[in-house]
Amino acid sequence: MYYLTNTVDMININNLNFGYSKHKPLFKNMSMRLSNGHIYGLLGKNGAGKSSLLKNLAGLVYAQSGTLDVMGFNPAKRQPALLEQICFIPEEFYLPSVKIDAYLKANAPFYKNFDNQYFTDLIKEFDIPVEQKLINMSYGQKKKVIIAFGLATQAKLVIMDEPTNGLDIPSKAQFRKIMASAMTDERCIIISTHQVRDLDNLIDTVIMLDENDVALKASVEEITAKLTFKKVKEIDDSIIYAEASLSGYNAVMPNYHQEESKLDMELLFNAILAEKIKFKPLFS
Amino acid sequence: MEFRDNKAIYLQIAEYVCEHILLGKWKADEKVPSVRELAVEMEVNPNTVMRTYELLQNKNIINNKRGIGFFVDEAAMDNVRNYRKQQFIIDELPVVFRNIYLLNIGFDELKSKYETFVKENFNA
């Protein structure tokens, strides 16, 4: 966002209506724009629609009405020219009973920019046993294989649904390093997560879904310009939301004195769920 | 890197860079890590490191040679001290003052304690 001269809308969602049944809408007239050069963190309660939004973007489910524009394409049409530019790492996935090289041979040709060397480097870095069949690997190892494959496609849109689930402690640090280097000016990266502590320093813009719509979309810089997150001994009227802690309270309040606090993403999440009306005017 | 909870990440990274300059690990006119390199090392978003580098450029601690990268400024050492001094006065001194006031510590006592501290730690 600082060194980009040409940010474009990579994703443009307009009045999206979506649900798995007609009587239970998941999104009502949702609109949102996402651009290149960012890592978006998608947050929301269970069932808020995080995975469904990601599936809409990847053309895996279809909108009831409204428009979705992903890099100039309608994802529902599933055109190869778009799909080769999307890397989608789902939370649940199936890998066949073959070794890595056979998997590569069958799948890499769909992506014309696929970088074999980069894939090999990632597999090595993640310490994946290449002689083992994919189906016999642990969940965490499988996950690392599809992350490595997804990033090696060089796709411009990277969508990851709970990528750190199942990763062991060293793999999480490796994942953060890999994502820090994978974030280029051309790419738009969207990561949905409940494990905000795994990823909060990677995310530059927070998107929070709640009650059928986008409850918040703001950069970390904008959030911390408007709000401060800090420990206080006592609660007063200036505090929007607070949680008791050992030494007092962890509080969110308007940033009256231009303090440069560290965004506490979990606290923000709970604060917005509890006090949505108070945040609305701050971020409109 | 382990970050503290009480300060914006981009400022903590600025402290890290300043520390390297003060300790002489990164010297005047030497190249500092690229935005991406430092982002990978710190496991943070490159936009955050870019924000750090913009701040340090404004303080004339590093400068940007177009197309080559970021370098430690000639006057970085003095500028780091100025910057850190301001930060200390704003962030840390109020806490110290509060304790001095609450515990009723006299300036004479403080002065002799300070001089002993300098002697023991810096042989000055």
CA dist list (Å): A106 to A99, A111, A262, A269, B36: 11, 11, 45, 41, 33
| B48 touches A at CB < 8 Å | yes
Distance of CA A202 to the CA centre of its chain: 10
φ, ψ dihedrals at A20, nearest 5°: -85, -15
Q: Mean pLDDT throughout B45-57? A: 97
Quick one: CA dihedral A255, A260, A265, A267, positive or negative?
negative
Q: Mean pLDDT throughout A6-16? A: 89
Range(s) of the domain holding residue B44: 9-76
Residues of chain B with Cβ-Cβ distance to A226 below 8 Å are: none
Q: What is the pTM of this model?
A: 0.90
Percent over 90 (pLDDT), chain A: 90
Q: Mean pLDDT throughout A72-90? A: 96
Tell me what pLDDT residue B55 has.
97
Q: B60 and B79 in contact (C-beta within 8 Å)? A: yes
A202, A221, A260: residue with CB nearest B11: A260
Tell me what pLDDT residue A6 has.
64
**B23: CATH:** 1.10.10.10
Q: Mean pLDDT of all residues in chain A?
A: 94
Residue B19 lies in a domain: yes
Q: Mean pLDDT throughout B45-74? A: 96
| Contact yes or no for B6 and A261 at CB 8 A | yes
Tell me what pLDDT residue A22 has.
85
Q: What residue spans define the domains of chain A?
A: 9-210, 221-283
Q: Mean pLDDT of all residues in chain B?
A: 94
- How many Cα atoms within 13 Å fall on the side-chain side of residue B113? 7
| A255 touches B at CB < 8 Å | no
Residue A45 pLDDT grade (very low, low, confident, very high; cuts 50, 70, 90): very high
Where are any strands of DSSP class E within chain A? 9-21, 24-35, 38-44, 65-70, 86-89, 157-161, 188-192, 205-210, 213-219, 227-232, 241-245, 248-254
Residue B108 lies in a domain: no
Residue B83 lies in a domain: no
Residues A9-210: name the CATH superfamily. Answer: P-loop containing nucleotide triphosphate hydrolases (3.40.50.300)
Say what the ipTM of the complex is: 0.90
Number of domains in chain B: 1
A176, A177, A224: residue with CB nearest B8: A224
Residue A280 pLDDT grade (very low, low, confident, very high; cuts 50, 70, 90): confident
Residue B119 lies in a domain: no
Residue B30 lies in a domain: yes
Residue B120 lies in a domain: no
CB contact residues (below 8 A), chain B span 5-24, against chain A: 5-9, 11
Residue A201 pLDDT grade (very low, low, confident, very high; cuts 50, 70, 90): very high
Residue A1 has pLDDT above 50, yes or no: no
Q: Mean pLDDT throughout A204-227? A: 96
